[in-house]
Amino acid sequence: MNVRVSGRPNAEAVSEIEFFEARKGEARRHTPVETWFAVKAAPGAQRCPSMREGHDRKGESIIERNLRNEGFEAFMPSYRIEVRHHRQGHWIERRFPTFVGYVFINIGPDDFRKVEEVNGVSKILRFTTSFEQRPMPFAFPQETIDRLRYIEWEQEQNFLLARARRQREEELDREQPGRRGKSATRRIRRAQFAELGGGLSTSLATHSSRAFITETMKTLGNLAGGLE
């Protein structure tokens, strides 16, 4: 899988293997062991503030901010889209969660109760085996988190490229008033993001990425189905 990085002249494609190699051990400098679990987010806790074009930040959600303030490392896979203000006409960037209702968190077994006490967290997702009398938190392998990070990065590059094309179209419109053959890239339709679970864009580069998102959503849904 190769992705061309936008924002750099003559940028070369970056493979998934190269991406993983570049971030190898990245989090381990801060946390000796990465053990990832999923939490069910309270309604509205994943809402992110909208940003006017030019603000160089994603917009942290309520649950991410609350977990960070309590010292926990959270990962909410997400993507961004652009919408145009219906009255003032400027562009607004909006960030949405890939998995609506779920956030991943890097914690140890002693922190389960502390996490569930954080505002915006409903429950840690658990499962029951034939050998256990009580449900146990379900740990996601590091490979799952790494793959989701890559898919998020891939989506971010697609967003930056689409935004750059739209900005160039607007520059040409100002330089050449009345020109014909305007590109449709300026019309960012939310309908393009409605087919996969969580509203994720269908523009993911490969079938394997789409299948991985779908399978992860299914796993989260099955675990959440066992919550009381």
**% the chain with pLDDT above 70:** 68
Q: Which is more confidently placed, 213 or 208?
A: 213
Q: What is the mean pLDDT of residues 40-69?
A: 86
**% the chain with pLDDT above 90:** 36
52-56, 78-82, 88-92, 119-123: range with lowest mean pLDDT: 52-56
Model-level pTM?
Answer: 0.70
Q: Tell me the residue type at 71.
A: G
Q: Output the pLDDT for position 71.
A: 93
Q: Output the pLDDT for position 177.
A: 74
Q: Would the pLDDT of 198 be above 50?
A: no
* Ramachandran category for residue 207: left, alpha or beta (phi over 0 → left; psi -120 to 50 → alpha): alpha
Q: Which is more confidently placed, 202 or 150?
A: 150
> DSSP of the chain, one letter per residue?
-EEEPSSSTTPPEEEHHHHHHHTTTTGGGT-SS--EEEEEEPTTTT----EETT--S----HHHHHHHHTT-EEE--EEEEEEE-TTT--EEEEEEESSTTEEEEE--GGGHHHHHTSTTEEEE-EE--TT-SS-EEPEEPHHHHHHHHHHHHHHHHHHHHHHHHHHHHHHHHHHSTT-S---GGG---GGGG-SSGGG--TT-S-HHHHHHHHHHHHHHHHHHTT--
pLDDT band of residue 183 (cuts 50, 70, 90) is: very low
Residue with tokens 């562009």: 91
Q: What is the mean pLDDT of residues 135-160?
A: 90
